[in-house]
Amino acid sequence: MEKVKAIVLRAAGVNCDLETEHALELAGAAARRVHINRLIEDPALLDGCRILVLPGGFSYGDDVAAGKILANQMVHHLRDALVRFIEEGNLVLGICNGFQVLIKTGILPGTDGGGALNLTDPQATLTDNDNGRFEDRWVSLQPGTDRCVFLDPDRRIYLPIAHGEGKIVTRDEEALEKIREGGHIAFRYVDAEGRPGGFPVNPNGSVDSIAGLTDSTGRVLGLMPHPERFVRRTQHPHWTRLPQSEEAGDGMMIFNNAVTYIQDHF
Amino acid sequence: MKQWRFEVSNKSGFRDVHGQAVLSEIRECGIRSVEDVFSTKVYMIEADFDREFAERVARELLSDPVFQDCALGRSGAPAGPMPASVIEVHLKSGVTDPVAESVYSALLDLGAGAVGSVRTARKYILLGNLSEADCQTICRRVLANDCIEEVIIGADAEPPSPHTQPYELNVTELPIRDLDEDGLTALSKERDLFLDLKEMQTIQSHYRGLDREPTDVELETLAQTWSEHCVHKTLKSRVEMDLDGEKITFGNLLKETVFKATQDLNRDWCLSVFSDNAGVIEFDESSAVCFKVETHNHPSALDPYGGAATGIGGVIRDPMGTGMGAKPIANTDVFCFGRPDMAPNEVPKGVLHPRRIMKGVVAGVRDYGNRMGIPTVNGALYFDDRYLANPLVFCGNVGLIPRDKCFKHQQAGHLIVVVGGRTGRDGIHGATFSSGEMTHEHEDIFSHAVQIGNAITEKKMLDTLLEARDRELYEAITDCGAGGLSSAVGEMGAELGAEVDLEKVPLKYAGLSYTEIWISEAQERMVIAVKPENLDAILKLFGSEDVEATVIGRFTGDQQLTLRYQGREVGRLDMDFLHEGICKYERKAVWKSPASAEPVIGLKDDFTEDLLAILSSYNVASKEWVIRQYDHEVQGGSVIKPLAGVTNDGPSDAAVMRPKYDSDRGIALACGMNPCYGDLDPYRMALSGIDEAVRNLVCVGARFERIALLDNFCWGDCRRPETFGTLVRSAQACYDGAMAYGTPFISGKDSLNNEFVCEDGRRIAIPATLLISAIGLVDDVNRCVTMDLKQAGNLLFVVGLTKNELGGSHYYLVHGHGGGIVPDADLEIGPETARRIAEAIGEGLIRSCHDCSEGGLATALAEMAFAGGLGVEADLRGLPTAEDCTRADRQLFSESNSRYLVEVGPDQYEAFARKMLNLPFGQIGKVTAEPRLVIRDAKKKAVIDSDIRELKEAWQKPLRW
């Protein structure tokens, strides 16, 4: 069987592209890293690609706001290509800065329908952590929906975050209600027993402990934690305490599900 | 074109993180009159669009409507009962504004049509009755960096003009041939050359021989190249040493101590030592690793954020500039500060408060390191009031490089290409300024010596350089660090000769003289040598990712350094004189061993309070507040993180990374440093640093036979024989230690004259500070071990002898005692112990392992217990001790070297004991499920008894900011 093709998008300041490419390859995809300048020159590079990943980093130095400049580039140069890509049933994953980009293009939370790029009337955004600092720590995540193709709805996972602007806020209570009711909450920060809580369980003060969002199709996922940083046992922060086992890291759930979904649907 | 002004601020109900940070900094300056601060981002855009489009720009680009408001036009102070001051911070004319550049492109993306210029500024509204003097202090110390920014006060004042004056060529000669001694000294001082009389005389006689006067750029080039920072003249000098009355001499101190160990050990896995920008050792069949640690002390004292950011940015370029360029894979950072809780009135004029320095330094390293996508995995923090005016900021970087790319091969005819950032006036005289001592006036005089960093420029450059390297598009590479182009081109062309057309260097703004261009230390620049036939390909590659690259000259083969500006020759130097012409120094050094009496301390029954005090001392306390601000997991290679244990918050001994996705081989990083020991015995201080660094690596599972070291000497004024004597003793220990442990030094750096002259003439010198950084190989990362206790019922052993060695210990420190015996290292048993522990870990005999150092046995046990969430029942009768170490307090808190605390499963006991045969080791207790640390003395009485949660709280509280 031909491998599922994936593109990891690079741009100035993106810095998690190599490990993200590696995670995709571990999941069985054929991944390549493509610079945004090349994609703007030739949007047809997306043809045949089934998974587009926006990795973590500090695209354009987080100038103006995290993810803003790259989001603006995508909206104005790649709008049609992106909308078509999503409509054709492909998958989009935004991790950390990539999530910030997706939310700033308006693709997420996508309460207005799949694939919409809503710059003018954003429903939610990501802003400074409540403690005002960049924070690297591990968090437990509870899936909040059963229709996002990247996740197993009943499997709680453990992943690291590393960000300064990860707090989700919504425009108003109504917007939050729509996100909840529409099943857009992909992950919530919880403790080891699955209960939401204050800092550090919810490390940035996100409304309703939201850690990740999916659009109305369930084929676009954005999350602040880094699944590509937990693809093997020795990346766990206290793996030396855990029993020996060959099990891969929790982050592989997301990449494996993505590849399996494409294999099952195309 | 129309001028549009946009002001973006948070809606009420959304925390103004930046404004609140400014408020807390203002309070840290001791100013209480400011009640609140509100921050606003300002964008000034010159463009043709109409109001409707401007509103779209406000909504879609510049603000986030979810939580921000964006107003068009300029707003004044808010109405209300509280007096308000409006302060705007603008960039000085011509200073690069990356945000403006991003906005400019984004406007074009939006379809804005013609856009003239974009500028950004920050605006602050300060509520409260603030005096003129307070306002000045806030502007200067909190809001703006005078080097690059301009402050305007009030809502009506005009922002600075964006236009700069062009430079008109004016070739300046500096007559030197007829000057007398006073004249030479005056010239050096007037031009901030930091050259002493002997050096000025050497230059004078050279130009008398040439029968002409030097131009300014020639003299500046010599000053940069001969600066202490670049050439390490003190450490390479001839030394006459008086060691307790015995005379010893060195022809070249460094060559006969630190270098000599490397030569005598002659390890075939050392691929490149002391010659390139970083030391290089073998990693596996196809790859090598390089490692370099630098200091950025003086700039960090003036501008903690910018100084530290460019410190890490600069050292990252060292591996990038080693061989044909390495990929940076890890950062390390070690800082020394004054006490963070010092009363503001104890801080001398011209010095920033230690807490402010620490916060700024951490933020600088965080922002630069995180943006570069390089994990910051290892570090340390030391506090001593003698670091008050001279904080030490050690930044290190490890790179991974293909074995076949470890050497450069530039040749005559290759083009000199400068890549990356543009050149500005920032960082002028950084190399020379950092070579001298500081005074209370430095913050004004040397603001221009501080560089300005932009991590994204460096990241873009790195991405494209690695690709250019793999496509073999260039022949040599080096970084533009201290001394700027003068050092980079001067070093790269040392054997060949080079010619440079200075007007070709891309500038941040007009108006720089040819000399400023040549010596500017503007950041994010690398110099490469390119074959003419590869030029088009490499320029295309850089251009494709928006990285600037420009041909500025070529390597000639005439052994001359020729500088031109618009075709006219402005400087010509003989490469040989530049690099070899510096005069040789002779220095005197003296060391007299102090008569050090043991302090008198009464006996008592319980030492729990002492342990709590040590855990809460700043040096020992948890550094979690710092560590979590660093991304220590980016690149996905992390194996042993800086924080370990059941709740991820115990203190790891060393960091381990797995740098290649297809291999389980790892790299371990650690450091050792004991400035507290140096006052009493600098020789033992250095030995202890080596033993500690090795211990730390061994504790996580590094292979003992593959450890390499770096030295960083930070000292006071070594023209004083007493001060230099302590350095000589440390250097001697470096040789002895490296030979005994089989650990070659592969690179190093020194920073001297870390002294500060206060306004009243009082002099503050740092304590003798030697940082030993260690890098080791791990054969299989799956065998690594952490320091947290793993399981109740397991046995606890101490390997290594506890002696009566508490001089400079934390037990004495928290009680304010001086004197005592500094820990020695047994140069036979120490290395043998390390080797056996490493083997035992490799064979899977050990469940947890912790280095016994600051705070001694009791502290190490406490850390293992609370990191593992388990208790300990220990009995000092099992502790292997020297005959003179019988008191319980000495056994608990002695800091004797070469000791390891080890947890072993009962089923592994025999194999472990066999492994340790003939070494001093003993079982001191076992791991318990009850969360208490209980240590009993010879009479079975508990001398320490505490809940581990209480111990952990004492350890975490001091730096939980």
pLDDT at B439 over 70: no
Q: What is the pLDDT of residues B213-243, one digit of tens each?
A: 999 999 999 998 998 777 788 888 899 999 9
Cα B83 to Cα B34, B38, B78, B131, B157: the distances in Å are 10, 13, 9, 11, 18
Q: What is the pLDDT of residues B121-146, one digit of tens each?
A: 999 999 999 899 999 989 988 898 77
pLDDT at B110 over 70: yes
Span B677-695, average pLDDT: 96
Residue B901 neighbours by CB distance under 10 Å: 25
Q: Confidence class of residue B94 from pLDDT cuts 50, 70 and 90? A: low
Query: Is omega for the bond preceding B65 within 30 degrees of 0, making it cis?
Result: no
For residues B675, B681, B683, B689, the Cα torsion angle rounded to the nearest 10 degrees is -30
What are the extents of the domains in chain B? Answer: 2-153, 785-961
CATH topology of domain B2-153: Mth169; Chain: A , (3.30.1280)
Q: pLDDT > 90: what percent of chain B?
A: 79
| ipTM of the complex, rounded to two decimals | 0.96
Q: Quick one: pLDDT at residue B527?
A: 97
Q: Quick one: pLDDT at residue B685?
A: 97
pLDDT at B194 over 90: no
Tokens 């229709």 locate to: A147
Q: pLDDT > 70: what percent of chain B?
A: 97
pLDDT at B430 over 70: no
Q: Do B668 and B656 form a contact (C-beta atoms < 8 A)?
A: yes
Q: Which of A133, A229, A238 sits opposite B646 (nearest CB)?
A: A238
Contact A18 B460 (CB under 8 A): no
pLDDT at A56 over 80: yes
A16 catalytic? Reply is no
For the ranges B60-74, B397-411, B790-804, the lowest mean pLDDT is seen at B60-74
Q: Quick one: pLDDT at residue B298?
A: 87
Q: What is the mean pLDDT of chain B?
A: 93
Q: pLDDT > 70: what percent of chain A?
A: 97
Write out residues 628-687 of B within 8 Å (CB-CB) of A: 628-636, 638-641, 643-646, 648, 658, 661
pLDDT at B646 over 80: yes
pLDDT at A68 over 60: yes
B785-961 carries CATH number 3.40.190.10: no
What letter does residue B454 receive in the DSSP assignment?
A: -
A57 touches chain B (CB under 8 A): yes
Write out residues 153-182 of A within 8 Å (CB-CB) of B: 160, 162, 169-171
Residues with Cβ within 8 Å of B843's Cβ and at least 6 positions away in sequence, in order, are: B911, B915
Q: Quick one: pLDDT at residue A54?
A: 98
Span B488-502, average pLDDT: 95
Q: What is the pLDDT of residues B319-344, one digit of tens each?
A: 999 999 999 999 999 999 999 999 88
Q: What is the pLDDT of residues B270-328, one digit of tens each?
A: 999 998 999 999 999 999 999 999 999 988 888 888 889 999 999 999 999 999 999 99
Q: Measure the CA–CA gap between B268 and B270, rounded to whole angstroms.
A: 5
Q: Quick one: pLDDT at residue B627?
A: 97
Q: Which of A60, A122, A136 sits opposite B456 (nearest CB)?
A: A60
Contact A12 B14 (CB under 8 A): no
Q: Measure the CA–CA gap between B844 and B785, rounded to whole angstroms.
A: 9
Tell me which of B549 and B164 has the higher pLDDT.
Answer: B549
Give the full edge-to-edge strand order of the sheet including B921-928. Answer: B848-851, B900-904, B795-799, B921-928, B871-875, B932-936, B942-947
Strands B755-757 and B438-439, how do they pair?
Answer: parallel
Q: What is the pLDDT of residues B35-55, one digit of tens each?
A: 999 999 999 999 999 999 999
Q: Quick one: pLDDT at residue B563?
A: 97
A223: left (phi over 0), alpha (psi -120 to 50) or beta: beta
Tell me which of B583 and B409 has the higher pLDDT.
Answer: B409
A242 touches chain B (CB under 8 A): no
Q: Quick one: pLDDT at residue B314?
A: 93
Q: Quick one: pLDDT at residue B14?
A: 87
Q: What is the pLDDT of residues B584-635, one digit of tens each?
A: 889 999 999 988 788 988 889 999 999 999 999 999 999 999 999 999 999 9
Q: Confidence class of residue B432 from pLDDT cuts 50, 70 and 90? A: low
How distant is the Cα of A123 from the closest Cα of chain B, in angstroms? Answer: 7
pLDDT at B445 over 60: no
Q: Measure the CA–CA gap between B357 and B352, rounded to whole angstroms.
A: 6
How distant is the Cα of B65 from the closest Cα of chain A, in angstroms? Answer: 7
B372 touches chain A (CB under 8 A): yes
pLDDT at B444 over 60: no
Tell me which of B146 and B68 has the higher pLDDT.
Answer: B68
Q: Do B611 and B892 form a contact (C-beta atoms < 8 A)?
A: yes
Span B569-579, average pLDDT: 95
What letter does residue A209 receive in the DSSP assignment?
A: G
Domains B2-153 and B785-961 share a fold: no
CB pairs under 8 A between A and B: 172
What domains can you pick out in chain A, each with its CATH number? 5-265 (3.40.50.880)
Span A132-160, average pLDDT: 96
Q: Do B193 and B223 form a contact (C-beta atoms < 8 A)?
A: yes
Contact A58 B370 (CB under 8 A): yes
Q: Quick one: pLDDT at residue B850?
A: 98
Q: Confidence class of residue A245 from pLDDT cuts 50, 70 and 90? A: confident
SS3 content of chain A, % helix, strand, coil (to 5): 35, 25, 45
pLDDT at A115 over 60: no
SS3 content of chain B, % helix, strand, coil (to 5): 35, 25, 40
Q: Do B372 and A12 form a contact (C-beta atoms < 8 A)?
A: no
How distant is the Cα of A40 from the closest Cα of chain B, in angstroms? Answer: 11
- Measuring CA to CA, which residue among B489, B502, B488, B482 is closest to residue B563? B502
Q: Do A228 and A95 form a contact (C-beta atoms < 8 A)?
A: yes
Q: Quick one: pLDDT at residue B442?
A: 58
Q: Confidence class of residue B446 from pLDDT cuts 50, 70 and 90? A: low
Query: Is omega for the bond preceding A200 within 30 degrees of 0, making it cis?
Result: yes
pLDDT at B81 over 90: no
Residues of chain B in contact with residue A8, where contact means CB-CB under 8 angstroms, are: none
Contact A69 B106 (CB under 8 A): yes
Identify from A174, A234, A242, A247 which residue to disrupt to test chain B contact, counting B C-beta atoms within 10 A and taking the largest count: A234
Contact B633 A10 (CB under 8 A): no
pLDDT at B859 over 60: yes
pLDDT at B447 over 60: no
Cα B913 to Cα B790, B797, B836, B837, B909: the distances in Å are 19, 10, 11, 11, 6
Q: Measure the CA–CA gap between B263 and B302, rounded to whole angstroms.
A: 39
Q: Which two tokens stand for residue B603?
A: 């006996």
